[in-house]
A and B are shown apart, each in its own frame.
Chain A
Amino acid sequence: MLQLNDITLKLDENLILDRISLNIQPGSIWGIIGPPASGKSVLVKTICGFFKPQKGNILFNGTDICKIPETKLLEIRKQIGMLFQNNALFDFMNVWENVAFPLRRSNPDIDPELLREKAWKRLKKVGLAGSEDKLCSELSGGMQKRVGIARATINKAPLNIYDEPTAGLDPVTTSKIYDLLLEIKRQNSSTVLAISSDVEGLRNFVDNIIVLHEGKIRYSGPEKGLETSTDPVVHQFVRGEEEGPL
């Protein structure tokens, strides 16, 4: 489904990603964790084609996204549902228009009534029935996150990327969000890539995990193997210890 081969990315002469290689199988759930500024968000944005790596390639369903022009990238991106770190909801649209937007762009000739119905159903699924006509600025942080999730998943894209799906949310809402993401994943049979600073919450959600530090992969494999990793960075980060290389 998604294969990263030796990706190296420099931005303004700073090495952000250092020889990243990954092979993500269809239907799997991967988590990316790491200290701040370790390159997590840049990695997923590189996968989406927002940054061109200086070395290596990224194969998405066999297509090397590092070598195709922007017009073709736009088509590829329609196959990726993305929840942005700060939600990136369109402030000139109301809630249901935000959710309907990717579906409308993928199906320009869709019946407006059907579009509205699908958006409303998706909003109901994320627990936002009744908020369809509100502006996104009128919603709480948790509700905005749900709108972002609804927008990222309405197209039933084969790959879903969630950048900090639970950032700034209380434990109860966090748990509900992870349950919701799992339910959507089961229904859509999609592959999931999630970034989170909430290590414990994310570990309950994913099958495989990647630990990034200073642009390098320090651990990549099953979530259960994280405890037995001998890497000092992984050891310290997962346990939250004060003493160590971090």
Chain B
Amino acid sequence: MMKQFLTNFFAAVGDKTISVFTAAKTLLLVTLNIFRGIFHFKNREKGEILKQAYEIGNRSFLFVSVTLSALGMVLVFQVCLQINKITGDQSQVGPEFIKGMIHAFVPILTAMMLATRVGAGIAAEIGSMKVTEQLDALRMSGVDPIDYLIVPRFIASIFMTFILGIYAALLVILAGAFMAHHSFGVNYNVFFVFDKVTWGDLIIGSTKLLAHGSAIPVVSGYCGLTTKVGSEGVGVATTRAVINSSLAVIILDFIISAIGLMTIQ
């Protein structure tokens, strides 16, 4: 009985370990092929990067705007509320809020928004193409699906995540300032103090945006390419894309923050 249990247990663990390593190997190969595909200019449709930039940027614009401005206002409201209870000196709310947003919050929150919006879209599109054999049809025309489908989304995502990140940072700071001024009477001149923002914060924030922007299409593209058969498979791939992209963003954010704290700051 015990022997059977142990055999099954180790078989299950071994099976899972092999599948994790196989998935990691495939993800690594997809990543390498994406980086190689950047230089395969002839394999891409003309204007495809711009089209994808529009899809990613324009369609995420409202989502990012509403979420991040609301978050900025709530954060400032809560901070001001607590400070009012203790010292009442709100002169440091603006500078610290701006620093925190640029360094940490805006990159991860923008990327998480895009992971749900863009990651799901990429996985669903590529996944449904896989189950309907459209990826095989591309290959029969001598086209590598990674070069043709994922690379334009990869380039567009890096570019648009960076642009949306800058926009989101401006918006969240403005929203925070608006809340501080109208709810707690904090003067705009007191709030908009950028002295605490260092070059290190800007470099770390930018690096995070670029890294997150590249991770989302890689992970989502991988999930789409490995979709199992049927419409259920597309659903599973889409869910996996959102979860794994978000996870990748969190892990990358942690790594970049750690390296940033150890080196730049």
Interface residues of A (CB under 8 A from B): 45, 48, 50, 70-71, 73-75, 77-78, 80-82, 84-86, 88-91, 101-102, 105-106, 108, 151
Q: B141's contact among A50, A86, A91, A105, by CB below 8 Å, is which?
A: A105
Question: Cα distance A90–B136 when bound, in Å?
Answer: 11
B142 partner residues in chain A, CB cutoff 8 A: 74-75, 77-78, 102, 105-106
Q: Does B139 contact A (CB under 8 A)?
A: yes
Instruction: With both chains docked as a complex, state the minimum distance between the C-beta of B45 and any C-beta of chain A, in angstroms.
Output: 10
CB contacts between A and B, total, < 8 Å: 54
A82 B137 Cβ-Cβ under 8 A: yes
B140 A70 Cβ-Cβ under 8 A: no
A77 B133 Cβ-Cβ under 8 A: no
A74 B139 Cβ-Cβ under 8 A: yes
Question: Cα distance A108–B142 when bound, in Å?
Answer: 12
Question: Cα distance A244–B20 when bound, in Å?
Answer: 45
**Interface size bracket, B side:** 10 to 19
Known pairs A88-B133, A89-B137. 13 more at Cβ < 8 A?
A45-B136, A71-B144, A74-B143, A74-B144, A77-B142, A80-B140, A82-B136, A82-B140, A88-B136, A91-B134, A105-B141, A105-B142, A106-B142
B133 partner residues in chain A, CB cutoff 8 A: 84-86, 88
Q: Name 16 A/B residue pairs within 8 A (Cβ), A-sorted.
A: A70-B144, A73-B139, A74-B139, A77-B141, A78-B142, A81-B140, A82-B136, A84-B137, A88-B133, A88-B137, A89-B134, A90-B134, A91-B132, A102-B141, A106-B141, A106-B142
Q: Does B85 contact A (CB under 8 A)?
A: no
A91 partner residues in chain B, CB cutoff 8 A: 132, 134
Q: Does B182 contact A (CB under 8 A)?
A: no
Instruction: With both chains docked as a complex, state the minimum distance between the C-beta of B145 and any C-beta of chain A, in angstroms.
Output: 10
Question: Cα distance A105–B43 when bound, in Å?
Answer: 8
Question: Cα distance A183–B144 when bound, in Å?
Answer: 31
B3 partner residues in chain A, CB cutoff 8 A: none
A89 partner residues in chain B, CB cutoff 8 A: 134, 137
